Amino acid sequence: MLRQDTDRINSKNQGITSNEEISPPASANFDIQQELNHLEDIIVYSPRIPFSGRLFVDEDQFLDQLDFIRLNLPTAFAEAEQIIRQKEDILMQAEQYAQDIIEAAEQRAMQILDEIGIVRQAKQEAEALRSQVQSECESAQEQTIAEIEKLRRQTQQEVEEMRRQAIAECEAIENDADEYADSVLQNLEHHLSDMLRVIQNGRQHLQRDAQPPIS
């Protein structure tokens, strides 16, 4: 679920400096791989819990970075869709340009071939050329859209897997921290119990010394 800590997110997007490393604001240069590397650095460079092999991760910094990536993914997807639309426009323009060339060629061919009596043959050849160009344009368009869609799905799957792994690691670290705290409290309880026994023995000894001797 998306965290509602908008103050931290707005501070990150406005470039406000702090002790934590701040990611760049969302823009056309948003790099999902770079932000995932930053997320990994937060874990790798976190301090270790004493007497254990576990890490103590700054939860706020980690979740802020995770929110930043999640908030910028729709922008990255929108940019990918914009690229698809631009490619479609380019393909349409190319197709129109090819169509214009074909029509001009047909007109010229008709003018020349009409003089030698083979107008029908020229029309057939022009139609075949137009069909070939149109087929190639459609094939290129379908291939481009398929590749972009495949890349989008792959990126989404990688981000989701990364999020699941990060949450699992945070839960594991939190459990280990609870176990460590319980161990410390248990040792303290043993020490206090020993001290209490010493105090009780001392009081009993003083009470026996204070009793008058039996005559």
Whole-Å CA distances, 204 to 196, 200, 208, 211 = 12, 6, 6, 11
Is 142 within the bounds of a domain? yes
**Greater model confidence, 4 or 40:** 40
Find out whether 20 and 3 touch, Cβ atoms under 8 Å. no
Per-residue pLDDT tens for 83-107?
888 887 888 888 888 778 888 877 8
Is 150 within the bounds of a domain? yes
Confidence of residue 119 (pLDDT cuts 50, 70, 90): low
Is 18 within the bounds of a domain? yes
DSSP state of 109: H
- Tell me how many degrees the CA angle 69-54-165 measures, rounded to the nearest 5: 35
Is 27 within the bounds of a domain? yes
Confidence of residue 1 (pLDDT cuts 50, 70, 90): very low
pLDDT given at position 133:
92
The answer for residues whose C-beta is within 8 angstroms of residue 106's C-beta and 6 or more apart is 122, 123, 126
Is 203 within the bounds of a domain? no
Work out the average pLDDT over 188-204: 88
Helix (H) or strand (E) holding 198: helix 119-210
Q: Could you give the number of structural domains in the chain?
A: 1
Is 211 within the bounds of a domain? no
Residues of the domain holding 26: 6-172
Q: Is residue 26 predicted with pLDDT exceeding 60?
A: no
**Greater model confidence, 114 or 10:** 114
pTM: 0.27
